Structure 1
Amino acid sequence: MKAKNIVLAGATGYLGRYIAEELTAREYNTCLIVRNKEKAGFDQDKFDVIEAEVTNPMSIIECMPNADVVISTVGITKQKDGLTYMDVDYRANLNLLEEAIESGVKKFIYVSAFNADKLTHLKMCEAKEMFVKKLKESGIGYCIVRPNGFFSDMSEFLKMAKKGKAELFGDGNFKMNPIHGADLAKICVDAIETNEIEIEAGGPEILTHNEIVNMAFDTLGKKPKISYMPEWMRKTILWFARTFTSQKTYGPMEFFFTVLAMDMVAPWYGDHKLKNFFEGIKTENN
């Protein structure tokens, strides 16, 4: 299949914007689904932009009449608007899938998360994997992309360094290889024409949390100050959060408290380096 017309949902997120640029760079006819055209700020000479709310199936009817492929990065990273993971990561993506099938779309590319299939006891991963199951059963061509942490997530280490103190789990030697949005966007767009059905992806550098936080302090020209949270404390905080707060509060916390307390190393792609990303943020903030 030589695809020409692509619909991208989730275009205003960190990854979505990189995918949009990669699609137009490769001269695909690209339609973006956004909640608010004005706030999204896309050049409408480069993209067709449709205003729709993917959590409402009625708003996306006939939004992909000529599409060959749908790419979805739709998902909650930080809870807002009172919506749950089931509302967004599961139901909104299912709305897109059902409309894609109705419209005769040939392939659906979904961006999940690395190890989400192994962490379904977490609310975020449970919702993502419920959708993955529906996608696999749908009969449509598909590819599930499972990225490791984004570079944008790593900015939290810079925030800790800016405050003068960082907190890590265990001894700080858990490893990860986060990936830049531009590198991941290439993987997602490559998936349009390949036959791969699942892709796990991380960046080119495998770093310990100690190395990342020291890099953050070094970027800001500060002396590292690090404390370490023992396992019993991590579990206690999670128990209190799950018991006494709503999913809106504990959902993101349980995900990050879990993935930052284990090794998260995916097959590597790309060439962007985290130090350069940190330096870029420092320059923007000066």
Structure 2
Amino acid sequence: MWSKIVFFLDRAMLKSRITLSALGAPLQRRGVHDVIVRGKTGKVHVSLGQGGRSSSNGHTATVFGATGFLGRYLVNNLGKMGTTVITPYRGTDDERRHLKVMGDLGQIIQLRFDLRREDQIVENLRHSDVVYNLIGRNYETKNFSFERVHVEGARQIARLARENGVAKFIHVSALNASVDSPSRFLRAKALGEQAVLEEFPDATIVRPASLYGHEDKFWNRMGWFARWTPGSFIPVVNGGKTVMRPVYVGDVAMALAKMLRDDAAVGKVVELYGPREYHYRSLVDMFQSIVLREKNIAYLPLPIAKLIASVWERILVTPVVSADEFQRLAISDKIGHPGALTFKDFDLSPHTIEETVTRFAAVYRPGELFDAPLEPVKNRYTTSHIKLD
């Protein structure tokens, strides 16, 4: 049946191409592979154009958490592929306007929603064949606890996606998520994974390591302390011995975008982490060598650091660092979940920190040294180079 339909489509297109060619108009290249039938829903997707933002790949994706750090990079990658992207938002126009230009006219659809309103969630996902859940909080607020966002919210979105015939559900968790974790954030993330799989059994669970990029809370947090504390002290817990594999946010967004078409990750766990391993103290040393400020580290006992951060959480609307973030800075990254996919399974090679750190750290140089030459960062900070007792 489908072969006959494709045959007649090709004949009609061939005639239109001959006519357009005679008129001197540019030709649109299409082939049989542009017609896709999604097995789970039976929906037919037909791509139009030669690729890029001004084309259509036939897919519609909803990205919950699109206005967040990772979300903006994912929307941009989906837009470049010609995907129609629905970007639910709940904040002000300033938090969403940058997403509008990531696709052609009508390609980025922005709808207001509230995580507590099921009808608004359904309105955002009922036309989509792929749903991404990137919603998360680094600290709790009076309206949203970790459990409400990462567990109940994730379960609700997964259930509504299944009930509305969504073909693919991709849930972003965290690399060290565990129900036994001392971090409430990581415990909630692990419970959220379980909730999603109960509602959507063949969902993809993505576990990224600590993300860094222009808008991150990794280098920028170090930069805040380097710029505003007397002596440029940067606080470090656990003696700086925590082992980390930070990953560039653009690499994670690229992998997530590839999952739109690649079904290899359906029902699987995907671990996305950086190619090199570092002690947290080595990362602070690397940062301080670039910003050209005083190299001072404040080694804090974890209970004291959490106490100070808990006071900030009560005083500041957006705390520089939360008590639970200090707790996470004392937890080493664990990789190697049985059967987990990695960047390699998506033909991606993630950036190293040495390749990217200067573009994020150099902005925290003092004004008089801002234009000082940038020396290439050598590979001498990893755990294979520096041994900590």
**TM-score normalised according to structure 1 size:** 0.84
Q: 1:43 aligns with which of 100, 103, 110?
A: 100
Of 4, 9, 18, the residue aligned with 2:73 is: 18
Of the structure 1 ranges 79-88 and 213-222, higher mean CA displacement relative to structure 2 is found in: 79-88
Contact kept, 8 Å, 2:67 with 2:89, in 1: the verdict is yes
**Counterpart-to-counterpart distance in 1, 2:355 and 2:293:** 15
Question: Which of 346, 350, 353 is the aligned partner of 1:273?
Answer: 353
Cα distance in 2 for residues equivalent to 1:203 and 1:61: 35
C-alpha distance in structure 2 between counterparts of 1:186 and 1:134, whole Å: 26
**d(CA) in 2 for partners of 1:262, 1:137:** 28
Residues 263 and 127 (structure 1), Cα distance of their counterparts in 2 relative to 1, 3 Å cut: closer
Aligned residue number for residue 326 of structure 2: 257
Q: 1:85 to 1:7 in 2, by over 3 A?
A: same
The within-5 A match list for 1:1-286 is: 1=38, 4-36=59-91, 38-39=93-94, 40-41=96-97, 42-43=99-100, 45=105, 46-80=107-141, 82-117=143-178, 119-151=180-212, 152-154=216-218, 155-162=220-227, 163=229, 164-192=232-260, 193-196=262-265, 197-229=268-300, 233-235=301-303, 238=306, 253-264=322-333, 266=335, 269=343, 270-271=350-351, 273=353, 276-280=356-360, 282-283=362-363
Gaps of 5+ in 1: none
Displacement after TM superposition at 1:17 (Å)? 0.4
Letter in 2 for 1:276: T
Q: Would the alpha carbon gap of residues 240 and 222 (structure 1) be closer, same or farther in structure 2, given more than 3 Å must change?
A: closer
- AA of the residue aligned to 1:224: K
SS in 2 for 1:167: strand
Distance 1:274 1:258 in 2: 26
Question: 1:272 Cα shift?
Answer: 5.0
Percent of aligned pairs sharing the same letter: 19
Q: Shift of residue 140 of structure 1?
A: 4.4
Q: Secondary structure at the match of 2:195?
A: helix
1:240/1:218 CA distance change after superposition, 3 Å: closer
Of residues 198-207 and 141-150 in structure 1, the stretch that sits farther from structure 2 once superposed is 198-207
In structure 2, give the amino acid aligned to 1:65. R
Gaps of 5+ in 2: 1-37, 40-44, 46-58, 337-341, 344-349, 368-389
User: Which fold has the larger relative contact order, with Cα–Cα distance below 8 Å and residues 6 or more apart in sequence?
Assistant: 1
Question: Which SS does the other structure have where 2:82 is aligned?
Answer: coil
Q: Partner amino acid for 1:43?
A: K
User: For residues 124 and 174 of structure 1, do their structure 2 counterparts lie closer, same or farther at Cα, with a shift above 3 Å needed?
Assistant: closer
How many residue pairs align between the two structures?
Answer: 280
Cα shift readout 1:150-207 (whole Å, capped 9, x = no counterpart)? 1112221222222311222233232211112111111222233233311111123322
Shift of 1:237: 5.5
- Supply the distance in 2 between the matched residues of 1:194 and 1:22 (Cα, whole angstroms): 18
User: Is the 1:113–1:146 Cα contact (8 Å) retained in structure 2?
Assistant: yes
Distance 1:31 1:272, change over 3 A: farther
For residues 241 and 165 of structure 1, what CA distance do their matches in structure 2 show? 15
Decide which structure has the larger Cα Rg and report it. 2
State whether residues 158 and 278 of structure 1, in contact with CA within 8 Å, keep that contact through their aligned partners in structure 2. Answer: no
TM-score by length of 2: 0.64
Q: Deviations over 1:217-274 (max 9, x none)?
A: 1221123112323xxx3146558988xx98x999x74432222123225477511536
1:161 partner letter: A
Code of the residue aligned with 1:222 in structure 2: it is R
